[in-house]
Amino acid sequence: HTLGKTFRTSNYHFNVVRSTLTRNLGVRFSDVRDEIMTAFSDEIPVSEDWITLPALDTIMKVVCRTTNRLFVGLPMCREPDWIDLNIQFTVQVFGRAPIINLFPGFLQPIVGSLLSPRANALKRARRHIGNVVRERVEKDDQYGRGWADKPVRKNE
């Protein structure tokens, strides 16, 4: 209920993960490995001494960067505001779900829409994604549908 009606009623996101993303993981393995190595290097300083790190915050940044390397690519997957947006959205959705579940089923869609971080997250995401979409449309126009490093789409 926190992600909106389309998420509940459409299977599009499942199909992307089951087909396109899964089918291309082998091809993208070097990107995933590179991002894991870079993220760990950025998040965990090299030191001869023992250091204290916030384990959960550190691993959330590494996972966020790595998954977004697949979804949005470089350089956006490393942008601090994009990382913060993705982490905060996830934390808020999972934090609000138990509250929504306290209500009777018929009220959950209403309460979910009131508590959802979706609208603010979408507004913030558009500031980042808008430029990426424009760039990809321009590359389609300039180079055709098969330009180098183009993200793989279903049916292509």
| pLDDT above 80 for 41 | yes
Amino acid at 82: W
User: What is the reported pTM?
Assistant: 0.74
Whole-angstrom Cα distance, residue 128 to residue 137?
A: 15
The phi and psi torsions of 152 (rounded to 5 degrees) equal -75, 135
150 in any annotated domain:
no
Please report the pLDDT score of residue 7 as a whole number.
56
27 in any annotated domain:
yes
Please report the pLDDT score of residue 39 as a whole number.
98
| pLDDT above 60 for 144 | yes
Helix (H, G, I), strand (E, B) or coil at 44: coil
| pLDDT 10s digits, 125-135 | 999 988 878 88
| pLDDT above 80 for 15 | no
Q: Name the most confidently modeled range: 2-11, 22-31, 32-41.
A: 32-41
70 in any annotated domain:
yes
Q: Are 116 and 3 within 8 A, CB to CB?
A: yes
The angle that helices 80-100 and 55-71 make with each other, rounded to 10 degrees, is 110
How many Cα neighbours within 13 Å face the side chain of 24? 18
Q: How confident is the model at residue 155 (pLDDT cuts 50, 70, 90)?
A: very low
17 in any annotated domain:
yes
156 in any annotated domain:
no
Please report the pLDDT score of residue 29 as a whole number.
86
149 in any annotated domain:
no
Q: Which residues contact 147 (CB under 8 A, 6 or more apart)?
A: 139, 140
Amino acid at 60: M
Please tell me the total count of domains within the chain.
Answer: 1
Q: Which residues contact 108 (CB under 8 A, 6 or more apart)?
A: 1, 100, 101
152 in any annotated domain:
no
Full domain range(s) for residue 52: 5-143
Q: Are 100 and 2 within 8 A, CB to CB?
A: yes
| pLDDT 10s digits, 48-57 | 999 999 999 9
88 in any annotated domain:
yes
Please report the pLDDT score of residue 3 as a whole number.
60
